[in-house]
Chains A and B, each alone.
Chain A
Amino acid sequence: QKEVEQDPGPLSVPEGAIVSLNCTYSNSAFQYFMWYRQYSRKGPELLMYTYSSGNKEDGRFTAQVDKSSKYISLFIRDSQPSDSATYLCAMRGGYNKLIFGAGTRLAVHP
């Protein structure tokens, strides 16, 4: 079993839709959770950073962490074609190493 599971998609939605992206993990010791956005042939860009359980909102993006279920989510409201990218969840493990999910490819079509 991988430490972090993420559905690779692809996920295709119409412009304006609410997008829900999810990851599950197995290590209950994880405390720091991140979402990165990666455009094709570019490095990942940090979108959201959350410590422990709870919600965090930033503009159209909301990150949720449910440690009891070992489940994290990223919601994108009013999705735009410019949101089309691969979204990677990541968790901080020992020695500050990041453990990434496989990434979900999102396509928002006009």
Chain B
Amino acid sequence: GAVVSQHPSRVICKSGTSVKIECRSLDFQATTMFWYRQFPKQSLMLMATSNEGSKATYEQGVEKDKFLINHASLTLSTLTVTSAHPEDSSFYICSARERASGRTEQFFGPGTRLTVL
């Protein structure tokens, strides 16, 4: 149980294009989903917290207009990197917190590696 998937696993795009990353909880309903980015050999940095049916809460320094988050259902959240630039190249990871059990653990997706040329 507690499986989180991400799609795509890897994406390469040209500078200026937008990229959408999907995060799905496969066998549970997620009250909250989190989006992180991770640079090589560094830890995970929280970008935003996404609650189903409401606006995402962004961490300080994260541009909400650049990183659009939509949490349309209890099993799906999407992150869209708009007008991507090479400095946006990173490993993007989502996590989900289970709704029903009240547990506080977060379960992570496998990550999406974004390369912007």
Interface residues on A, range: 20 to 34
Residue of A with least CB distance to B44:
A100
User: What are the interface flags for B88-111 relative to A under an 8 Å C-beta threshold, 1 for contact and 0 otherwise?
Assistant: 000101010100000011111111
Shortest C-beta distance, A12 to chain B (Å), equals 16
Residue of B with least CB distance to A2:
B43
* B46, A43: Cβ atoms closer than 8 Å: no
Q: How far is the CA of A49 from the CA of B98 in the complex (A)?
A: 15
Interface residues on B, range: 20 to 34
B-facing residues in A42-59 (Cβ within 8 Å):
42-46, 49
Shortest C-beta distance, A10 to chain B (Å), equals 10
A88-B44, A98-B46, A100-B43 given; A44·B93 CB < 8 A = yes
A42-B110, A42-B111, A43-B109 given; A97·B49 CB < 8 A = yes
* A41, B93: Cβ atoms closer than 8 Å: no
Q: Which residues of B contact A105 (CB under 8 A)?
A: 41
Interface residue SS majority, chain B: strand
Taking the complex as formed, is B25 at the interface, i.e. its CB lies under 8 A from any CB of chain A?
no
Taking the complex as formed, is B34 at the interface, i.e. its CB lies under 8 A from any CB of chain A?
yes
Q: Which of A32, A43, A102 contacts B93 (CB 8 A)?
A: A43
Residue of A with least CB distance to B45:
A100
* A36, B43: Cβ atoms closer than 8 Å: no
Shortest C-beta distance, A102 to chain B (Å), equals 5
Taking the complex as formed, is B32 at the interface, i.e. its CB lies under 8 A from any CB of chain A?
yes
A selection of 27 A-B contacts at a CB cut-off of 8 Å is A8-B41, A32-B104, A41-B111, A42-B110, A42-B111, A43-B4, A43-B93, A43-B109, A43-B111, A44-B93, A45-B108, A46-B108, A88-B43, A88-B44, A92-B104, A95-B57, A96-B97, A96-B106, A97-B46, A98-B46, A98-B106, A100-B43, A102-B42, A102-B43, A103-B42, A103-B43, A105-B41
Lowest 9 CB-CB distances: which A-B pairs, in order?
Answer: A43-B108, A43-B110, A100-B43, A43-B111, A44-B108, A102-B43, A100-B44, A43-B93, A43-B109
Residues of A within 8 A of B (CB): 8, 32, 34, 36, 41-46, 49, 88, 92, 95-98, 100-103, 105
